[in-house]
Structure 1
């Protein structure tokens, strides 16, 4: 059995920087995934980075949802790539948690514990303190992120059902109430 982790990273109190957390909570609420042989867990990793090592190393595959910086990109542009083949234009210097996550993955590489890793990233518009929510550009990017993620999960052999009544705007107000890593969604 293969174990796959969908990990949302971000600070929900800094507007668009919280998109990874908001998006994974949204996916967990909207979709039910199933596979006869594999397990998919969905976790809000917040800004824990190195604190997540003990969890991440238990998985065979990792999908991280987060903001990314990219030279010559527009706000709301979506990137999905294998971490080992990151596009040259991707810049990991956007926020403290991005740098820490990069360092975490690098440390895991050094000891051979990093699972096969894919990044689903979006270029943020606003990283501002004490704003719970996303800008219009990032709300507009959610369908593209959703399509990329579902295509990847389907390529791993998962099927899914969805609840069309769930909107990302509904899960954002409770993001700070959800427990980081204590209550993973497991399917």
Structure 2
């Protein structure tokens, strides 16, 4: 099976870049092996709908992004299958041109949506032209990292930690990559 880890977010809006930064952090810090699966890590930025032709090539996908949720506070982490999305969760208020949720719904209607999970966090700081991540988000990213690694192991991947890049360091360098 072909797996996709898709990081979504606007890197110049502080915490809103979480999906992109965490996707890169996992890709740089771990080596993934499987006899029966392949895995790709893609920085989807704010492209959303334009990613549909890429997403359709995969069997399974994990989307990493920021979300809003009723009664949630900055730093709260959510992990759920797309088809079991909690009603209290929304992607409203992010800095994407077209929301990722709309893209997933569009792909579902076309029959092109791979089996998908959402790994997300409620952001604290969404400031234009800032790469500084909030402490709440940095702490939450550790939970998100563990959640993603456990999920990929349950899907049959061997995961070996090979580096220790920090989320903030990658955020600081993200505009150069």
Give TM-score, length-normalised by structure 2.
0.96
Q: Which runs of 5+ in 1 are unaligned?
A: 179-187
Q: Decide which moves more: 162-171 or 59-68.
A: 162-171
> 1:49-88, aligned counterparts within 5 Å?
49-88=48-87
Shift of 1:22: 0.6
Q: State how many pairs are aligned.
A: 177
Q: Which residue does the alignment assign to 2:26? A: 27
| Aligned-pair CA distance for 1:165 | 3.1
Provide the rounded CA distance (Å) in 2 between the counterparts of 1:72 and 1:99. Answer: 25
3-state SS of 1:72 partner? coil
Question: Is 1:103 the counterpart of 2:102 in the alignment?
Answer: yes
C-alpha distance in 1, partners of 2:12/2:72? 24
Quote the residue 1:181 is aligned against.
none
- Alignment partner of 1:120 is 2:139: no
Residues 93 and 99 of structure 1: CA distance in aligned 2, closer, same or farther (over 3 Å): farther
Shift of 1:174: 1.9
Quote the offset at 1:60 in angstroms: 0.3
Question: How many Å separate the matches in 2 of 1:142 and 1:95?
Answer: 18
Decide whether the 8 Å contact of 2:31 with 2:161 is kept in 1: yes
- Where do 1:121-136 residues align within 5 Å? 121-136=120-135
Give 4+ residue runs of structure 1 displaced > 6 Å after superposition: none
Cα RMSD (Å): 1.3
Q: Unaligned 5+ residue runs, structure 2?
A: none
Decide whether aligned partners of structure 1 residues 87 and 62 sit closer, same or farther in structure 2, where only a CA change above 3 A counts.
Answer: same
Q: Contact 2:14/2:127 (CA < 8 Å) preserved in 1?
A: yes
Asked if the contact 1:3/1:61 (under 8 Å) is kept, the reply is yes
Contact 2:14/2:132, CA 8 A, preserved across alignment: yes
Q: Is the Cα contact below 8 Å between 2:9 and 2:95 reproduced in 1?
A: no
TM-score (norm 1): 0.91
Q: Distance in 2 between matches of 1:126 and 1:165?
A: 24
